Chains A and B, each alone.
Chain A
Amino acid sequence: MFYKAIVFLPLVGAIAAGLFSLRKLDGAAVTVSIAGVCLSFILSCFAFGTIALGGEQATIDVARWIGSGRFQAHWTLRFDTLTAVMLIVVTGVSSCVHIYSVGYMHNDKSIARFMAYLSLFTFAMLMLVSADNLVQLFFGWEGVGVASYLLIGFWHHKETAHTAAMKAFVVNRVGDFGFVLGILAIFALTGSVSFDAIFETVSSYQPATISIFGLQLPALEVVSILLFIGAMGKSAQLGLHTWLPDAMEGPTPVSALIHAATMVTAGVFLICRLSPVIEYAPVALDIITFVGALTAIFAATVGMTQFDIKRVIAYSTCSQLGYMFFAAGVSAYPAAMFHLTTHAFFKALLFLGAGSVIHALSNEQDLRNMGGIWRQIPVTYAIMWIGSLALAGFPFFAGFYSKDMILEAAYGAHTSAGLLAFWLGCVAALLTAFYSWRLLIMAFHGTPRASVEIMAHVHESPNVMTLPLIPLALGAIFAGWMGYDLFVGNHWQEFWGDSLFILPTHQAMEAAHHVPTWVKLLPIGLASAGVAGAYIGYVRLPWLPVSLASRTGALYQFLFNKWYFDELYDRIFVKPAVRCGKLLWTRGDKGVIDHYGPDGLSAAVARLSGRLVQLQTGYVYHYAFAMMIGVVVLLTWYFSGFGG
């Protein structure tokens, strides 16, 4: 009951808020949705105590769902350490964002609907992390996708908003294509979709192969790669990342909750949840490492050149997700989960801080129109500093522990993929610090570039928006230091228990603690260099970035245009699909099928009857003729042996 309440309270809140929104009872809707989520958070803390710290696991059967023959998927909640960690992250950030939204959205007449969507999202996310089988996980997966779709397109008057919403849904569907096929393959292989049954037998399927389109492929590799494609969609990994920056069209609290702290990490969660399967798929692990590392560096390079404050942070999210993936790829799942947790705090903080900036500047999002406001909004300024320090991984902030752990694990894995990830990760760390301070300096320092009217209105956000930032800021400062021992330090094995599985031969977690000192120091050095670079480029020598951009024109354009992914996809997928559809319709349906089918037939009949009419035979002959043919056909049929 207690555990069920954690998951279903936000749903109750969402439904109640939805009903209140119909009656225009905004206050009631806001209260009930906040109450639902906060209560769920308090219960989650207790659950974390018993499950993660106390080592008790629980599986609760709620109801039957889809059952047909051997295919059985129940509504079942599974609570182990992995779930408990996610519960804290999801309900914690969600509670802060709910409260923050009251201030941020107070002018919006649809605030009740907004709160209902937020709570609905929280419910779907909780279903995702507490799923006991792949199909239920997919339910949560699609549920958060829909909530994200609704919230990105929340300001549905904006053309860009609903375009971005649709793009997010469709790109995620491409990932879902892989996810669904992964579920099918795993069911065909093991005869079950529930985690316990799969994990129990999975090691015996190592030699199994799947024959697909005539190719014989190792079954577990196929399964893992298909599921990873799903994870790539949701977690915006290179190739399927294009929706995430556009998703910033949604209100900023949405970006903080969904597109930074929780939903986008669902892919990382999926990989960790399925570690008992993926551990037996070495090729898939290498692919995960490779894609993660490429994403980390790709997004960081693009983040350096963007001017929209939220897009810079969005690319940073994308990049940090890449870190988590390559951590998982070198079998350092605890490190991935650790970074997921710390990242949730400081990235939500950064987004909400950015929201505060945007709010203060009357909805201005372009960094080029900001600057010189740090004295007016000191709290926000401090918040952004904390978030940036944590993100860049400066000592004793949260990101320092988790990001270093990931880089050390990648180095310690001693595989070529791991080493590649290590080096790309180090370069990305340099770029991360650079774009973080570029953002800080451009947003807060220098001469004010906003118009005089806007500058006159610059004000600190109300308490309802600054107070929820405090727990997040505390998390961004202390989460790494507090969690290190449990998540990845001396006690990680007891802490994670059975919820993560690592083959004894995969030693990255252990080796991470015994890397050379330069490996430990390098990331901090690079981060400092990044900050110095930003300081030189944007404070000391402001002409430098401009001249660099113009001198390296092609490269700069390439980065500024986000490696031309959108243009490429538009050329090779979107436009051809629509053109293909038009062609099939006009040439296929109308041109061939109808032309030779019904239209052709009726024309032929008309011609034929025309001739018959010319012969002065009249209508009766039509029928006689048709009957004759029918009789002939019937008789032929009958005597040709088939009839008897």
Chain B
Amino acid sequence: MNSSWPLLSVITFLPLSGVLFLMLVRGTEANVATNAKLVALWVSGFTFFLSLFLYVGFDPDFVGYQFEEQVDWISGAGISYHLGIDGISMPFILLSTFLVPLSILASWGSITHRVRDYMMAFLVLETMMVGMFASLDMLMFYLFFEGVLIPMFLIIGIWGGIDRVYAAFKFFLYTLLGSVLMLVCMLVMYQQSGTTDIPELAAFDFAPTLQFWLFLGFFASFAVKVPMWPVHTWLPDAHVQAPTAGSMILAGVLLKMGGYGFLRFSLPMFPDASDLFAPMIFALSVVAVIYTSLVALAQSDMKKLIAYSSVAHMGFVTIGIFSMNEQGIAGAMFQMISHGLVSAALFFCVGVVYDRLHTREISAYGGVVDAMPRYAAFFMFMMLASVGLPGTSGFVGEMLVLVGAWNRANWVAVLAAIGLILGACYMLWLYRRVVFGRAEKPEILELEALSSREFLIFVPLTVFVLWFGVYPSTLLDIMELAVSDLLGQIGPQQTALR
């Protein structure tokens, strides 16, 4: 399994080395901007190319971590530089490396000031994201997990909209609260077990009462990231203020950190507490699905609407994870990947018309299809994927989550399925108001058709959403053993339910 050279480290730190390279770029401002864009695109593109080797070299029949790298860091203290991937983290790494070059391409024309800094922020962000998913040491995980926030905070705070300071501040306040509690829990865990190694911690038995508190500490952090109701209100503001590419990464990858955290920490390390808290999480998730879907109906801002729909979709993820059975967890994983692609594409859809008309108000549009037929087709496809149409990736995740939820507690599935109806309402209504109708405003009639750069961003997203919808085994096979191994760690009482 171990390749001769440290592929994971290379993928993790290659974007960071791109940052160093960017610092060296000299010349006039326009020159720097162009070169910075190109460098960032090439570096992130090459990173994605390298990450494909993870997919090719991955052995889905191997239980445990692959591509492992371990170097003593603080010797004797049980803290090491430890990277590795399994079927749970690998898809997320690919998702991250896939979305970053697309987001860089998406910001090509819309970012005009401090371009180099912007590109640097994105590359740092990529290193942090990949590092977070690849870390097998709790300390490293914490550093990357919190590190992700810094470039995202800057992207919103510097390149964001009018209310960017309020949004960035809210974002920061919520996440800070969670991370402080998580850090405290990590200290306690280290104190108890004498190690920060994640596989070792997963095998360690924490006393049930301790698990109770530790679970809550981690929950505070992960729930904010997901985000779960009622700690979701930072998300709409952050999305609305963030530049298009920032929203793409925020919805595409950053929201998945919470779900990943639940799978990596909460479930294997605190199984008893997870079992105990599952009803509470179900309740919160069901409220999230119905509440935020209704709120999405009331929105007049396109980005806010999609942001609220993200909260609803992530509600399905937490339901799936805490169903604690094979379909639920695999479905939650799948839903996260699918949502990563679909929501990134939807935010890009908003970005495309925002770049032209500089407004996100739904009422400013109407009849866009006449001027931009191809855009309308892509938007339609992504809208249907978001609604969970079979044949798109959105369906597979939702279906498996519902199967898992029904088997655990059928009332959860019944209430969550209401989200299927409401989801169709707000997405179709959005689409109808923006795309359909007779274009009467002159600025709509004169909208520029989709450029080839924008086309190039839509195509890969569409291909993957369709592919995962028609042949989801590509992903499910990778996850299967990791999921059953995780269930094995949780304990027999849950796996007995299949």
Question: Is residue B210 contacting chain A, with contact meaning CB distance below 8 A?
Answer: yes
Binds B, one of A261-269, A515-523, A582-590: A582-590
The residue from B236, B297, B390, B414 contacting A181, defined by CB atoms under 8 A apart: B414
- Within 8 Å by CB of B473, from A67, A143, A593, lies A67
Judged by a CB distance under 8 angstroms, whether B291 is at the interface is: yes
Are A578 and B473 within 8 A (Cβ)?
Answer: no
Shortest distance in angstroms between B143's beta carbon and chain A's nearest beta carbon?
A: 20
Q: State whether A643 touches B294 (Cβ < 8 A).
A: no
For B295, give its contact among A181, A187, A581, A594 (CB under 8 Å).
A581
Binds B, one of A96-104, A171-179, A482-490, A505-513: A171-179
Partner of B233, one of A142, A180, A589: A589
Is B436 a contact partner of A188 (Cβ separation < 8 A)? no
When the two chains form their complex, are residues A68 and B476 in contact, meaning their CB atoms are under 8 A apart?
A: yes
The distance from the CB of A229 to the nearest CB of chain B, in whole angstroms, is 11
Q: Please determine whether B413 and A184 come into contact, CB atoms closer than 8 angstroms.
A: yes
Asked if A584 and B291 make an inter-chain contact with CB atoms under 8 angstroms apart, the answer reads: yes
Give min CB distance, B402 to chain A, whole Å.
Answer: 6
Q: Which of B330, B331, B391, B411 has a CB less than 8 Å from the CB of A139?
A: B391
Partner of B209, one of A176, A212, A642: A642
In the complex, the answer to whether B406 meets A184 with C-beta atoms within 8 Å is: yes
Which of B327, B367, B437, B438 is A71 in contact with, Cβ under 8 Å?
A: B327
- Min CB distance B142 to A, Å, is 16
1/0 per residue A590-603: CB within 8 Å of B? Answer: 00011001100110
Q: Does A153 contact B (CB under 8 A)?
A: yes
Contacting residues of chain B (186-236) with chain A, CB-CB under 8 angstroms: 188, 191-192, 209-210, 213, 230-231, 233-234, 236
B413 engages A181 (CB within 8 Å): yes
Interface size class of A (residues with CB under 8 A): 35 or more
CA distance A210 to B294 in the complex (A): 30
A605 CB to nearest chain B CB (Å): 9
Instruction: Report if A642-B210 is in contact (Cβ < 8 Å); known contacts: A581-B294, A585-B299.
Output: yes
Min distance, Cβ A514 to any Cβ of chain B, angstroms: 45
- Residue contact A584 to B369, C-beta cutoff 8 Å: no
Classify chain B's interface size. 35 or more
Q: Is the CB of B326 within 8 A of A69?
A: yes
CB-nearest residue of chain A relative to B169?
A: A602
Q: Indicate which residue in A142, A153, A211, A630 contacts B389 across the interface (CB closer than 8 Å).
A: A142
Q: How far is the CA of A585 from the CA of B483 in the complex (A)?
A: 37
Indicate if the CB atoms of A173 and B436 lie closer than 8 Å: no
Cross-interface CB contact of B498 among A69, A156, A634, cutoff 8 Å: A69
Cβ–Cβ contact A634 & B428, under 8 A: no
Contact of B26 with A by CB under 8 A: no
Residues of B within 8 A of A188 (CB): 406-407, 410
Q: Which of B170, B213, B435 counts the most chain A CB atoms within 10 A?
A: B170
Chain A residue with minimal CB distance to B480? Answer: A68
Q: Which of A45-53, A58-66, A87-95, A524-532 contacts B (4 or more CB under 8 A)?
A: A58-66
Q: Is the interface of B mostly helix, strand, loop or mixed?
A: helix
A68 is contacted by which of B233, B331, B437 (Cβ under 8 Å)? B331
Residues of B within 8 A of A156 (CB): 369, 435-437
Question: Is B429's CB under 8 angstroms from A166's CB?
Answer: yes
Q: In the complex the two chains form, is B294's CB within 8 Å of A170's CB?
A: no
Interface residue ranges of A119-176 to B (CB < 8 Å) = 135, 138-139, 142-143, 146, 153, 156-157, 159, 162-163, 166, 169-170, 173-174, 176
Docked pose: A630 CA to B181 CA in angstroms:
11
CA distance A138 to B399 in the complex (A): 11
Question: In whole angstroms, how far apart are the Cα atoms of A64 and B473 in the complex?
Answer: 7
Bound CA–CA A135/B331 (angstroms): 15
Check B327 against A184 for contact (C-beta < 8 Å).
no
Complex partner residue of B425 from A170, A180, A211, CB under 8 angstroms:
A170
Q: How far is the CA of A90 from the CA of B192 in the complex (A)?
A: 68
Pairwise interchain contact B403-A173, C-beta atoms closer than 8 A:
no
Q: Are B390 and A212 in contact (CB under 8 A)?
A: no
User: B471, A63: Cβ atoms under 8 Å?
Assistant: yes
Pick the contact of B410 from A135, A184, A588, A589 — CB < 8 Å? A184
Is there a chain A Cβ closer than 8 Å to B325's Cβ?
A: yes
A207 lies within 8 A of chain B by Cβ: no
Inter-chain CA distance A593–B230, complex, in Å, is 7
Q: How far is the CA of A163 from the CA of B480 in the complex (A)?
A: 43
> Taking each of B210, B390, B483, which has the highest tally of chain A beta carbons within 10 Å of its own beta carbon?
B390
At the interface, yes or no: B447 with Cβ under 8 Å from chain A?
A: no
CB pair B291–A170 under 8 Å, yes or no, is: no
Tell which of B46-54, B67-75, B247-255, B416-424 binds the partner: B416-424
Contact B390 A138 (CB under 8 A): yes
- Give the docked Cα–Cα distance between A634 and B331 (Å): 38
User: CB < 8 Å: which of A169, A597, A637 contacts B428?
Assistant: A169
Is B162 an interface residue when CB atoms closer than 8 A count as contact? no
Decide yes or no whether B273 CB sits under 8 A from chain A.
Answer: no
Q: Which of B180, B231, B395, B406 has the most C-beta atoms of chain A within 10 angstroms of its own C-beta? A: B406
Given contacts A139-B390, A170-B421, A634-B184, contact A68 B294 (CB under 8 A): no
Looking across the interface, which residue of chain A has its beta carbon closest to that of B304? A585
Query: Which A-chain residue is minimally distant from B431 (CB atoms)?
Result: A166
Which B138-189 residues sit within 8 Å CB-CB of chain A? Answer: 169-170, 173-174, 180, 184, 188
Q: Is A456 an interface residue (CB 8 A)?
A: no
Judge whether B298 is part of the interface by a CB distance below 8 angstroms.
yes
Please name 11 further chain A to chain B contacts, defined as beta carbons within 8 Å, in addition to the given A159-B437, A163-B432, A170-B428, sorted by A numbering: A66-B400, A68-B330, A135-B399, A181-B413, A212-B411, A581-B296, A593-B231, A593-B233, A642-B209, A644-B188, A644-B191
A-B contact pairs, 20 of them (CB 8 A): A67-B473, A71-B326, A138-B390, A169-B424, A180-B420, A181-B417, A184-B406, A184-B410, A188-B410, A212-B411, A577-B294, A577-B297, A581-B296, A582-B298, A588-B291, A593-B233, A597-B233, A598-B234, A637-B188, A642-B188
The 4 closest A-B pairs by CB, nearest first: A69-B326, A581-B298, A581-B294, A581-B297
